[in-house]
A and B are shown apart, each in its own frame.
Chain A
Amino acid sequence: GQQLNQSPQSMFIQEGEDVSMNCTSSSIFNTWLWYKQDPGEGPVLLIALYKAGELTSNGRLTAQFGITRKDSFLNISASIPSDVGIYFCAGLLFSGNTPLVFGKGTRLSVIA
């Protein structure tokens, strides 16, 4: 089946640093999504991308839909302690009822 390779698996950064994570796939997608999961909660949508090349921001977060439609990245600027959590990328290819494909997540730790 389709797989997303998400990297890095985990990151430890100092408060105030910028963060970058990415997802790659051997398949093309029509939609890329980025979710964040706080401990003990369900994933929450951060950013949705619908066009190849699209660059979208949400506060300190910026995500891009790769022009090949096979990759996406998420940047977090000036990290703060509440950025701690697991970040998931997900891709959707509309083909009947095909469900989302998820990456395995990037666990972010922020050191104050």
Chain B
Amino acid sequence: DAGITQSPRHKVTETGTPVTLRCHQTENHRYMYWYRQDPGHGLRLIHYSYGVKDTDKGEVSDGYSVSRSKTEDFLLTLESATSSQTSVYFCASRPGQGIWNQPQHFGDGTRLSIL
């Protein structure tokens, strides 16, 4: 396993509040990813990072921001949560630097409910 820990595992919050989800990996992986999973949509990429302070948008990035100040941590922030952001969020990571095609491994997810 890639030693990926997501926190919190569950969160309930109200519309309009800021929310930050944390992903921590212990494998010194270069690449990290945030996905959301909703019924009928599979896994959709929100943002990803290809190094410290290097991030890029995925297909559903509106309303989300990310930061990566250390190799091991990738934070996902909902600046002002909306009910449409109720979902299960997964973090993933994979190596880089010459091991370009190594598979990514996932955390166990964060179930976020926005009321």
Contact = CB atoms under 8 A, between A and B. Distances in A.
Interface of A: 1, 30-31, 33, 35, 40-45, 48, 50, 88, 92, 94, 97, 99-100, 102-105
| Chain B interface category by residue count | 20 to 34
20 contacts: A1-B59, A30-B101, A40-B109, A42-B4, A42-B90, A42-B107, A43-B43, A43-B90, A43-B106, A44-B106, A45-B105, A50-B101, A88-B43, A94-B100, A97-B50, A99-B48, A100-B33, A104-B41, A104-B42, A105-B43
B79 interface: no
Given A88-B43, A102-B42, A48 B108 contact: no
Contacts of A97: 31, 48, 50, 56
Nearest to B44: A102
B90 to A, nearest CB: 5
Contacts, number: 49
> By CB atoms of chain B within 10 A, which of A33, A97, A99 has the most?
A99
B-side interface mostly? strand
Interface of B: 4, 31, 33, 40-43, 45, 48, 50, 56, 58-59, 90, 92, 100-101, 103-109
